[in-house]
Every structure is written in C-alpha cells, then in structure tokens.
Structure 1
C-alpha cells in the first residue's frame, strides 16, 4: 500500500512542478521580454539601417501584439 501512494505522490508532484514552472516562466517573459529596444537598435544598425525611435516603437509594439496573440492560444 505504501508504494502506490509514493508513486502517486511523485506523479502529482512532477505534474504540479511542471505547471507551476510553466506559469512562472510565462509571467516572467511577459513582464521582461527577451528582446529590448537596445537589442533591436543594435540589430538594425548591424544590418545597415538607421533606426528611428518611431520605427523602434512600431517594431516593439508589433512584437508585443504577436506575443499576446500567441499567449491566447
């Protein structure tokens, strides 16, 4: 009787830990996006483009909208 309870506890703990870690990472990435304006600016400059603030804001808002759309799925 002790072994099935231990196995059940292990399975419940693994599933709970997985979903807790998944939720934590999603909320962290929503608050702290992996690409910042400075990173975007340096990427554009390395590609030979002169980024304006308007263009940077537009690209950041597009990325934010895409992330929100992906989060809804």
Structure 2
C-alpha cells in the first residue's frame, strides 16, 4: 500500500513540476522578447532602405516605438 502512495505522489510531483517549468519559461521568454525585440534599429533601417527611402533617426525610432506599442497591446488583449 505504501508503494502505491509513493508512486502516486511521484507522478503528481512530476506533472506539477513540468507544468510549473513550462509556465515559468513562457513568462521569461515573453519578458525577454518585450525587452529585446527581434527587430532592432539596423533591421528597420535596412527595411526602409530596401523600399527606396533614406530613413532619418526620428523615423527609425518612431517605427520601433510603434512595434513595441503594438506588442504591448497584443499582450494586454491576451489577458
């Protein structure tokens, strides 16, 4: 009887640990992506240059702010 209880506790602990680990890693990944978006200033400049525009620093910063703001709004919608 004791061995059954130990096995049940081990399975429950394994499932709880897995769920907790997935949840923590998702939160950490989202936090890192919000702080360091995959698009940086150089990528925005390259995209604007490929469209035939010579972007100013103000335009680049404006695009980056818009990207960050839309990511925050999307995050708020999910909650």
TM-score by length of 1: 0.88
- Compare relative contact order (CA 8 Å, sep 6+) and give the higher one, 1 or 2: 2
Tell me, which stretches of 5 or more residues in structure 1 are unaligned? none
What secondary structure sits across from 1:51 in the alignment? Answer: coil
Unpaired segments ≥5 residues, structure 2 = none
Please tell me whether residue 44 in structure 1 is matched to residue 44 in structure 2: no
Tell me the TM-score normalised to structure 2 length.
Answer: 0.82
Structure 1: 4+ residue segments shifted above 6 A: none
The size of the alignment, in residue pairs, is 73
Which of the two has higher C-alpha Rg? Answer: 2
CA RMSD, aligned part only? Answer: 1.1
